Amino acid sequence: MGPRTIAGARPTKSIVVTSTLLAINVLIYLITAVQAKSLDNSTSPLNFDGVMQPAAALVQGEWWRIFTSGFVHFGIFHIAANMFSLWMIGRALEQAFGKIRYLALYFVALFGASVAVLLFDNPLQISGGASGALFGLLGCYAVIVVKLKLNPSGLLITLAINGYITFAIPGISILAHVGGLITGALVAVALLYAPERNRARWQAIGIGIIVVALVGLVLYRAAALSALA
């Protein structure tokens, strides 16, 4: 079968997924900036239609916001900070996990970040950005540190910096960050602690269980909000 990484993927130096995600985020920001005719893209129609708002997502049936909200940003600093973090963290994780597992990690973490917002945030609150998924990558990094018994200094410093930014800057969704962090860690456990025999199958089952649980929480919240509408 040849050499495998810690997650069971074939060793690769490819960072095509990270590069593609970065390009998509930047492209969407540029489109919104053109629409708003300003680097402050808050008036962009694309941003308005893509951001997370629990009431719109669940009561009005605009389910796409669960995922599109992870690709819209508010202003040049927001997109720059998130894309820098994606580039710094994502490349190593993509090489360790391979394209498919890395994509699963990223999008399930994004899903988990949105679910946390749907469950606990004000139904009319607006939020967006890639940081929920990025905190999922940090959660994965934490599991790797534990499994491989690595020096946690780098992780702790990174978490401290991101934690400070989360609580210090107004308008950042704490719930999305926490939801992404927890979900990313759970996905990493499913990937890294799967039995070696039929590992890919067990990994798929583990991730599937997480996704089904998240979908269940979304349906529960949708029913609750619809009853209040």
Q: Write down the mean pLDDT value for the chain.
A: 92
Query: Cα–Cα distance between 71 and 74 in angstroms, integer?
Result: 10
Contact 109, 187 (CB under 8 A): yes
Does residue 28 surpass a pLDDT of 70? yes
Give the pLDDT band of residue 1 (cuts 50, 70, 90).
low
pLDDT (0 to 100) of residue 44: 95
pLDDT (0 to 100) of residue 155: 76
pLDDT (0 to 100) of residue 70: 95
Give the pLDDT band of residue 190 (cuts 50, 70, 90).
very high
**pLDDT tens digits, residue range 132-178?**
999 999 999 999 999 998 888 877 887 777 777 667 655 678 899 99
Query: Cα–Cα distance between 100 and 108 in angstroms, integer?
Result: 12
Does residue 213 surpass a pLDDT of 70? yes
Query: Cα–Cα distance between 59 and 82 in angstroms, integer?
Result: 29
- Select from 183, 229, 223, 224 the least CA-distant residue to 207: 183
Least confident of 56-70, 104-118, 215-229: 215-229
The dihedral sign for the CA sequence 24, 26, 29, 30: negative
- Select from 130, 150, 108 the least CA-distant residue to 52: 130
pLDDT (0 to 100) of residue 221: 96
Q: Which residues are catalytic?
A: 131, 177
Among the CATH numbers 1.20.1540.10, 1.10.3720.10, 1.10.10.10, 1.10.357.10, which is that of 16-228?
Answer: 1.20.1540.10
Convert the chain into a string of H (helix), E (strand) and C (coil): CCCCCCCCCCCCCCCHHHHHHHHHHHHHHHHHHHHHCCCCCCCCHHHHHHCECHHHHHHCCCCCHHHHHHHCCCCHHHHHHHHHHHHHHHHHHHHHHHHHHHHHHHHHHHHHHHHHHHHHCCCCCCECCCHHHHHHHHHHHHHHHHHHCCCCHHHHHHHHHHHHHHHHCCCCCHHHHHHHHHHHHHHHHHHHCCCCCCHHHHHHHHHHHHHHHHHHHHHHHHHHHHHHC
Tell me how crowded residue 33 is: count the other CB atoms within 10 A of its CB: 19
Does residue 224 surpass a pLDDT of 80? yes
pLDDT (0 to 100) of residue 63: 95
Does residue 34 surpass a pLDDT of 60? yes
pLDDT (0 to 100) of residue 168: 63
**pLDDT tens digits, residue range 57-104?**
999 999 999 999 999 999 998 899 899 889 989 999 999 999 999 999
Does residue 196 surpass a pLDDT of 60? yes
- Select from 114, 106, 70 the least CA-distant residue to 221: 114
pLDDT (0 to 100) of residue 179: 97
pLDDT (0 to 100) of residue 163: 74
